[in-house]
Structure 1
Amino acid sequence: MKIAYFSSYPPKACGIATYALALRKTIKDRDHSIEDFVVAIDDREQGYSYGSSVKFHFWDKDGTSYQTAAEFINNSDANIVDIQHEFGLYGEKVNTETVGNNNGENFLIFLRALKKPVVTTLHMVYRKPPKKHISVVKEICDRSNKVVVLAHIAKKFLTEKYDINPDKIVVIPHGAPNVPKYATAFFKEMLGFDKKEILISSFGLIRPKKGYEYLIEAMAEVKKRFPNAKLLLAGRAHPQKSPEYYQILKDKVKELRLKDSVKFVNKFVNYPDLINYLMATNIFVAPFLVMEQVSSGTLLYAMGAGRACVSTPFDYAKEALANNRGILVPPEDASKIAEAIIRLIDHPKIRHRMQNESYKYARQQIWSKTSKQYVSLFKEIIS
């Protein structure tokens, strides 16, 4: 079997690229006989310096290259094409009001020209999709042999809101790290924290709608009760989406006199660093403001490291943290975030129970199990 991956790909710094790399690596680790190559989408005209696995790449805003990319794959000896899809990845700005500058046509040019079996993973499925969005997603599903979603709530939305045949949809969880559940002390000291400090953390590209300003405000309340609490915000300021937001966060830290209590790590967090940060963490917080989000690698990775989690009730979090696996708080509410953090610090038994339940949940979704499901699906389609 030979797989052609169509996705953004490292060194591009984005969640889809990280996902594609992890999926490709764990599939190769599972079966060394499987061959593959990557067709990568660049978000800048000059492209990136890719490794040897990337055989073709192009600028996402060059409409003619989508046809060329499809022809490249058609002329290859690939048996199947694995596509990672998220609106906005293919040179289009997309939200719940608009599908994009060209209504998703860039990606559809590629998909219409493709002549190989296709599995498309949909990372973005809206609870309240606009009409044009529905037609684009329907065509993606029609032209794919199967579509993969990362959570059961996403399958529910596709069947109920987009009228997609449920037989076309396969739920394969995101993929979680396969790591032991260590105590935090060693990792805190390795990263320069005191082992007695209470470390609260969050990770990802720093951009508006992440809600980090409310987490910083919550820390001011947490510090009153627990002076040894520290906040770690790790992630690069998003280059296209308001770098000034990063400065707003820093100004808020200064305003609240939290300079010694909040640490910023302004870089894209790679996998080894992410695991080390999570291993040092006592409480992970996802204060996101966009509720229509059907996947979150950072939240699942925190659960996979066995950490207690606090999150706003975006769609994926409601599924992942159900059955008291974590605490859900309203968006834009610093006082409720602080209340949840303080509760977890105040009640170690509750925190430890949540850690155990989170870890148990994520263990069912480690990357080796996710890759096994993808390989089985690919083989089923090819045969």
Structure 2
Amino acid sequence: MEALDPQRLRIGEDGAPPDPGPLSELARRMRGERDRMLGFPFNLDFDYRPLAEFLAVHGNNVGNPRSGSDYRIDTRPFEVAVLDFFTRLAGGDPARVSGYVTTGGTESNMYAVWVARERYPDAVLYASAEAHYSLPKIGRLLRVPYVEVPTAADGTMDTTALLRELARHPGRAAVGAATIGTTGRGAVDDLPGIRRALASAGVERSRVHCDAAFGGLLAEFGDEAIPWNLAAGADSVALSGHKVIGAPIPCGVVLAREDDVEAVRAEGVAVGADDDTITGSRDAVSPVLLWYELRRLGRRGVAERVRHCHRVAAHAQRGLAAVGRRPSRARGGTVVLFDAPPEEFCRRWHLPRDEEHAALVVMPHVAERHVDRLCEELRRAG
């Protein structure tokens, strides 16, 4: 998109009626890019305009969503409904799992590592070389030693390498981060394998966090069973609200064991509410957005949305193969890597690329017609 003239956006000394022109122009440009947004894990298939009245009031879900607060303009009941849905989806019991709606995957990951560190202050954090960029940053912020574990050829954590790294820190607690859908290629780490490595290394104090922001729902409703959740051995899980579900602002969910969360909970400190969150004051709109869409879809609707993504990803593999682009796709994922076209082509279709590959990421707004248009342009380009 072309840049807007900064002079039209300048905020002066005196107040003035906002010029709707730049806003309308920007909204038009953003909507115009929608049909070519094929390379990032964000779902653009949603419409929350019926909820516009929530933009005219300050809602604040401060502190623990299940705790009462002296500030009572909130959307806590909707947040709890969203948390209960995701907890059950992840194979957990809402009575034994705590969590809240976050600003996105980074906060969810940070919360999980923070809770684990408070349980085990001497912990070392282990994550794969293809894990989300937030994890090494979180290690630095929380002053938790961070170990980058090499990956296998398919992009998943090499659990043999993990075993070697664990042996270098004898006697230390461990926090293993399993990535369920890497950003680069959608690879899913072996959650049971990480658990086995911890046991084989003799680690007696550990927690396993699943960063399932991208791939959790794709794994849950895919064609094959892929371990990814609390029921499969995770102690905490991060999920995204703006990826498969879709939202106009980044948001997410974090779930963790209630007995671990108790270690960080401060009673009554947040205007009367218990606080076991990172941010304290929290957005009250995102829970309503997620509730609205999940209520509309239901579990079956979410499952069908995921099946759509897998069908279109398979269609993309066939189409890209037909135009000679040698596509590949990780098990259970919807990222299709293929021989990279020129940079200008990738910019037009919002495709991330490196020297060898471009990535097509199938999300719910991506249909077969979008893939067909992309492949036809590739065919004409030669």
Q: TM-score, normalised by structure 2?
A: 0.29
Report the TM-score when normalising by structure 1.
0.29
